[in-house]
Chain A
Amino acid sequence: MGRGWQVRVIRLAALPTVASASLLTGGCASHDFSIRSLPAETPAAYNAAAIKEFQAMQALGARPASAATQATVGPPLTPADVPSMQTYDPWERMNRFTYRFNARFDEAILRPAADQYRRLPNPVRTGIHNFFSNLSEIVSVVNYCAQLRPAPGVRGLGRFVINSTLGIGGLLDVATQLHIPGAPTGFGATLARWGMHPGPYFVMPILGPSTLRDGFGFLADFGTDYAINPVNLYRGTAGWVLTPLDGVDVRANISFRYYSTGSPFEYDTVRFLYVRRALIEDDALRMWHRSGKGAAQTPAGQ
């Protein structure tokens, strides 16, 4: 990885520096009134999608109910197995500080950028999104190897080859249309697969809620991505454009908004939900490997 990797981190760090400067010079200035145009809503299309999803769900209707009663993989969870409602958060003061910074950064830089990005025509955005997803396929393949799961690894490799060629450098997700859906994974999941616990709650700068393990996993994936990047995309001057664009694309696909409910307990709520989600996913992953199914197939629904 060496120096180049550091350069990429510095590139990402360029963002918060710009952000801090703008926060100091204007982001916090006290305007008494501001009106800001958001990307237009598209209620008809939104509801049409909801109908489709609803119908798909109803088609599956019988399944969740029966699945809930049928034998789970291994013994079912019981109330005694449930982790405490309290979250292990020894770095709470620092985490809260980072969370506040993230909220300000998001409001001042990331979300406005994502709003502008969302004004681009849909096919353009989908193309950009596919392009970055395709690049991240390599990280998934590496991690599937590290998890000793050849089947999804091979699928991931197949997706990468198909989308990079037939999909014109990854702009089109041809593989999904050929019924080879993506199943992204990362180093955090690899560590979980080999039994590492999530560790303390950890709010990453800009990126948000994580745990120590998954934060480390993210950095590792970031490095891997850079180190074996096949077309040298992130190394040249293009990297200064592509890294932030990747970030903006990811942000534009997330509907979360900091402090949108105005609640004084948002930090607590987010931490609670994030950690419960991580624990439930870990549990399912562990059970699934224990059952021996892990090596054979890709998880359903992905």
Chain B
Amino acid sequence: MEIPYEVSARPDTGLYNAKFGMWLFLASEVMLFGGLFSGYIFLRLGADPGYWPHGLLNVPVGTFNTIILVISSMTVVVAWAALKLRQWGKYKLYMAITILLSILFLIIKLTVEWPQKFEHFGVFIKPESAAKYEQYFGNERLAKVGLPPRHEITGHLHEVEALKDGKTEEVKIESWSEVTKLEAEGSKIVGYKVAVDPTYADPNNPVHDHPSFLYPKPTEKIATIEAADVDTIAGPFYPSHSPYLAVYFTITGLHGLHVLGGIVVFSYFWLFGHKLYRKNPEHMANRVEVAGLYWHFVDLLWIMVVFPVFYLF
């Protein structure tokens, strides 16, 4: 029992089944990421002035990742063309490049970009206590220049002051898990010593008025922050830290899962495609075409939406 139009196109639509199905699926994907991005818009518009961070992302690395994805979209088309021209060797080569580039994208995301954030620390200061930290905020000057006040001190966490059984102890911190361990043991964190980012080491320098494309590197200057002055969250740049990071990790995470899905499918076609190619090369070419169509969507989503929205704005 054969299903019609699996390989050849139906005359009135000009499409074979899988291509039509993929376009439909992509329509639903537009709605999925559209839902997430409307969430982003909603949250950003609803944020109080000064509470939506900028300059938290590494733009050069992000740009590099963008270029990788664009090239992989091109190589997958060459791979498909090779199949249409019945050049199996060329297909294998270009499909391999596509797969490697996609894996590189994920590696950079998971070993550079995300961990860079997990190591970064941020503390929101209560508005009524902000005056105490004026040396880091420089809010007087910001008010004069017409910019919203700063509310958060960011940098790398060096030490915490832990209170346990009435005794205060200063503990050197290498990673956040040590802090959660301290809390689980019954200590209460009463102070944070943070090696601040350049903005807070020199807050009145106009160069810091606008976000930089380069990722902030903590300075030597240490700020001591009392737990009583902490507004909502004192912690690493986890999704729970702020709505910005929540939506960033969710969207890049979901996008990353889609990249992974693409890698799985491409790898399957690379490893096991020869049998179908021998039986019905046009069918094999169609499969790669449809997967490539999906890949272009994932790519386009990154280039047109994820990258500009998060990295450039």
Co-complex (A, B) = no
Chain A residues packing against B (C-beta within 8 Å): none
Chain B residues packing against A (C-beta within 8 Å): none
